[in-house]
Structure 1
């Protein structure tokens, strides 16, 4: 009897890990560790087919980096714990039925508005309203959130380099990795990691008003993109390399002593680097690549 009572109390206290809100917290973290583990295994196996796409050699990784692999794992885990706790206490779990009802009402109201402004087909008006609320608006929210994350990270990232105090005490931690690898994507000082990644993504999520499910996709995609930028490989068939100019090669430049004051943009676009004159000159990169290959 007592065991049954305790089980019921425990069940009421524990959150449902499969709600959209809770999944938006833990799924991106789980995927980060899985994806990084795959890249780490690839680096350690040194398979010839993949080694030709490696940006730096394994010797470079061992000799040039100034932080141990164990310390990187510890700091990334700490950032994820802080991120989860922060998100959990801000979490507002909404009943799925209530959320579905709100969406249904929004579609209905939009269809009525469309009908009131000249469209005579009720079914067409409903289809347009459905597409608006399930496709168009989420797509706009997603792209807007990407732009907001980029803007937030560019400003703080550049400030971390221009301020001697911020660089010495915070951002220099990340630049102990002269040869980036996947797990190092979120290797930061805890304060910087919180301000740069957790707060930036959280603000984009809140200000765009996106759904928890779309937030789950955004956070996961942002993690995968950040991992890709630090993975240490430049695969020509990788969709993230093809679709985004801000990729592994672009960000690797920023981790080198000769490129550390350039290529601040991350993780998606190169817009702010181009507009504000901080993009590394492509011709200079070609010269350095040619010298390296000779």
Structure 2
């Protein structure tokens, strides 16, 4: 039994909980005090290098989430109706389904993401929108071109859900976790004790390398592991060094 049972259906929860959590978690990062000693880029760099205003980023994220909500509600409702009475799997089986979904999502996003960099037309007209945030921040985690948002995140999430065979209730956990991880990867802060930095090599600094000019052809993996980068030669090691003026900087290991 879960806390929303009897109040909201699993299908509605799976659709809207990740969206609400996105704004709560990203908003938490946005409202934190300056924390300059933990930033991967200075505030001056954020203002100088980013090529899109904050208001445009918010609108872009809301548009992507609208599409995601429509697709998710249709998918979760359709599969629930087709399955008839849903029996919630055991905890070990749900953990296995989530692990499968993580691998499927990583695989889908790696190859689609990489192709969007290699194809000059797709990069120029679609994926470059996300890279207008040269200095990433939490609320911009889902700032993408609408077509990229559909192909990379929405379709990737749908495939992960279908292949893993999870129920809508398990999907609530998986999609909320994926959203929190994605936001954290773009937060631009290297906070002590961050559990994602402890358990995932694919983390804030790892993805920050990809957003820099020298790293555009590396570290494509997202949002969980670095498996495909390492297997296919696109992994870029980095060193996290302290800046004299405060904060950290993720530098390519070959520099």
| TM-score (normalised: structure 1) | 0.77
Distance 1:54 1:202 in 2: 34
- Which of 9, 31, 36 is 1:19 aligned to? 9
Query: 1:270-289 alignment to 2 at 5 Å?
Result: 270-282=226-238, 285=239, 289=241
Alignment partner, residue 11 of structure 1? none
Provide the secondary structure at the position in 1 that maps to 2:86.
helix
What CA deviation, in whole Å up to 9, does each residue of 1:151-191 have, x standing for no partner? 00000010011000110010000000110000110000000
Unaligned runs of 5+ in 2: 1-5, 246-255
Query: 1:133-282 alignment to 2 at 5 Å?
Result: 133-282=89-238
Contact 1:17-1:23 at 8 Å conserved across structures: no
Provide the secondary structure at the position in 2 that maps to 1:160.
helix
CA RMSD of aligned residues (A): 2.0
Provide the secondary structure at the position in 2 that maps to 1:258.
helix
Unaligned runs of 5+ in 1: 1-15, 104-132
Distance 1:236 1:242 in 2: 10
Distance 1:77 1:210 in 2: 26
What CA deviation, in whole Å up to 9, does each residue of 1:117-141 have, x standing for no partner? xxxxxxxxxxxxxxxx412211111
- The 3 A distance-change label for structure 1 pair 293 and 23 is same
- The 3 A distance-change label for structure 1 pair 213 and 65 is same
Distance 1:28 1:89 in 2: 16
Provide the secondary structure at the position in 1 that maps to 2:180.
helix
Higher RCO (C-alpha 8 Å, min separation 6): 2
1:235, distance to aligned residue in structure 2 (A) = 1.3
- The 3 A distance-change label for structure 1 pair 98 and 61 is same
Provide the secondary structure at the position in 2 that maps to 1:84.
helix
Alignment partner, residue 53 of structure 2? 68
Distance 1:151 1:95 in 2: 27
Distance 2:46 2:146 in 1: 23
Distance 1:58 1:187 in 2: 19
Contact 1:236-1:242 at 8 Å conserved across structures: no
Higher helix proportion: 1
- Which of 36, 39, 51 is 2:36 aligned to? 51
Distance 1:161 1:170 in 2: 10
1:293, distance to aligned residue in structure 2 (A) = 4.3
What CA deviation, in whole Å up to 9, does each residue of 1:63-94 have, x standing for no partner? 11000000000000000011111222332345
Alignment partner, residue 252 of structure 2? none
Contact 1:263-1:280 at 8 Å conserved across structures: yes
Within the alignment, does 1:78 sit opposite 2:68 as a pair? Answer: no
1:97, distance to aligned residue in structure 2 (A) = 9.7
Equivalenced residue count is 238
